[in-house]
Structure 1
Amino acid sequence: MLETFPKITLWDVIDILIVAFLIYRIFIYLSQTRAIQILIGLLFLLILSVIAKFFHLYTLSFIFNNLITIGIFALLVIFQPEIRRILARIGEKHFGIFSSEEEAEKVIEEIVRAAAAMSEDRIGALMVIEREVNLDNYVEAGTAINGEVSKELLITIFWPGTPLHDGATIIRRNKIYKAGAFLPLSLNPNLPQTVGTRHRAAIGITEETDAVVVVVSEETGAVSVAYTGKLIKDLDPQKLKKVLKGLLVKKAKEKNSFFSLRRSKSEEAA
């Protein structure tokens, strides 16, 4: 009796566990996006297809079989944003991480000072800090700046009436890489109606990448930080600095430690 069952090895168990884990992680990721609603609808259609075959409902079976064939291509279109995000996470490279803790803290200080000044004067701003995912594939247009990050330059860029004040500023390491750039807007249906275009753009780019965005509201002067599709609102300069350090300085320390370790190993080998 037992001989009819295939022999299960340790590698088979490992294989099953890996597949199960991957499916679990995909479902967890999709549950945080609008794609889960589409997935539930597709599962419902699949159940109906099985029922139609079981009861020999030939017309329905024919329709569902053709829908499944078309659905493979439709899935690629429907889930295109989610697929792009997953591939972006897999293909992360070290582009925008600061080379040292000191460099990170200097940039953070200038951003906090600029945000505080613009908040007081009700100047709208959208400052995107690039981390590990390169933003070139997500940012449209924009004017190359390549200037040192400073309070004065940031305020000049966002000053009302200047050609670049309506777009986003991209900060790459200790440089203002681009200004006047356009970001993808968030399509999250759960966002309140009160969330404006500037904040939707901030949330949108953080849904697509691992960037951190500082937003200053033109209407209220409130300062917010967006990351991983979330928004932390109403930050004073002290809280803003604390949030940015938590998101950026730790990464800088990790990268600095990695290069120090690699350099010391090279010296030992020599």
Structure 2
Amino acid sequence: MFFHLSLSDIADILLVAFIFYQVYKLVKGTVAINIFAGIFTFYVAWLLVKALNMELMSDILGQFIGMGVIALLIVFQQEVRRFLLLIGSKYNLQNIFNFERLFSKPSIKDEVAEAIVRACDYFAKTKTGALIVLSQNSELFNYAQTGVLLRSIVTEELLENIFFKNSPLHDGAVIIADNKILAARCILPVSDNNNIPGSLGLRHRAAIGMSAATDAHIVVVSEETGNITFVKDGHFKVRITPQELNSFLHNDFTGFVVNK
């Protein structure tokens, strides 16, 4: 044996691998992946000149490497922010001392799910654009504050009125939390992932960006095609039926074939 691995070493390796995997998920498909590849190439070149004992080049590159942490924070400030949001909201750390909310599985009432399904079916038939965010463990109040707070009962008629094209609240997202409409006309973070098909518009990009930054589930109805899309964990399934939507709202994802 040339080396000895302890339990702490294994835990250390797994933790670093987890962090790198999460960082890769954040930058995959974005312009930041090219920057990340450039920095990695620069670091490999520094290791190579050190191994070849090229002292002058090693010192020059070493000066840049020494400022690497600051440079990374500047270059990847948006990705760092998204990573911290992912750790804080996606893994429900804000409720770590709220044991009732921490260990309870969020569920949607049957009447609320039925109202959403009927409204989305109507939106699909009339080609009315809609963007509905369903809070899970995170309350999403910071996103709700970007819109108009309602705190109202979820009904099919209210959803249809909100997303009516001449309504002052239709341009934005509706956030549903604790089986109530928390807010409407909310602004969501838009994904800059280059792998998103061009056939998906700004509503879909906002839904994918929101699901990547939080644990929320999002329903999108396309204004152009009338297709219903369900989004969770940064992944999405397009052209779902009202029956599939009802299953997804009740956390039954057996038919959720991921599109990336």
TM superposition score category, shorter chain reference: 0.7 to 0.9
Q: How far is 1:57 from its partner?
A: 3.5
The one-character-per-residue Cα deviations of 1:169-227 (angstroms, maximum 9, x if unpaired) are 00011110000001000111111222210000000000000100010111111111111
Equivalence map 1:34-113=2 (5 Å)? 34=27, 37-77=34-74, 78=76, 79-80=79-80, 81-90=82-91, 91-93=93-95, 94=101, 104-113=109-118
Aligned to 1:260: none
Bigger mean CA deviation after superposition, 56-65 or 174-183: 56-65
CA distance in structure 2 between the aligned counterparts of 1:98 and 1:19, rounded to whole angstroms: 30
* Count of aligned pairs between the two proteins: 238
CA distance in structure 2 between the aligned counterparts of 1:55 and 1:124, rounded to whole angstroms: 61
Equivalence map 1:1-270=2 (5 Å)? 13-34=6-27, 37-77=34-74, 78=76, 79-80=79-80, 81-90=82-91, 91-93=93-95, 94=101, 104-138=109-143, 141-246=146-251
Q: Do the aligned residues in 2 keep the contact of 1:139 with 1:184 (CA within 8 Å)?
A: no
The one-character-per-residue Cα deviations of 1:46-99 (angstroms, maximum 9, x if unpaired) are 11112223334344323322222322023234131223323333415338x777
What is the letter of the counterpart of residue 214 of structure 1? V
What's the secondary structure of 2:122's corresponding residue?
A: helix
- Percent of aligned pairs sharing the same letter: 33
Name the structure with the higher helix share: 1
Q: Do the aligned residues in 1 keep the contact of 2:139 with 2:177 (CA within 8 Å)?
A: no
The one-character-per-residue Cα deviations of 1:241-270 (angstroms, maximum 9, x if unpaired) are 11221259xxxxxxxxxxxxxxxxxxxxxx
Q: Do the aligned residues in 1 keep the contact of 2:90 with 2:213 (CA within 8 Å)?
A: no
The one-character-per-residue Cα deviations of 1:101-124 (angstroms, maximum 9, x if unpaired) are 6x5222211110110111111110
Q: Do the aligned residues in 2 keep the contact of 1:168 with 1:181 (CA within 8 Å)?
A: yes
What's the secondary structure of 1:200's corresponding residue?
A: helix
What's the secondary structure of 2:141's corresponding residue?
A: coil
- Please tell me whether Structure 1 or Structure 2 has the larger radius of gyration of its CA atoms: 1
Q: Do the aligned residues in 2 keep the contact of 1:214 with 1:224 (CA within 8 Å)?
A: yes
What is the letter of the counterpart of residue 161 of structure 2? T
Aligned to 2:98: none
> Unpaired segments of 5 or more residues in structure 1?
249-270
> Unpaired segments of 5 or more residues in structure 2?
96-100, 254-260
Bigger mean CA deviation after superposition, 47-56 or 166-175: 47-56
| TM-score, scaled relative to structure 1 | 0.79
CA distance in structure 2 between the aligned counterparts of 1:107 and 1:98, rounded to whole angstroms: 17
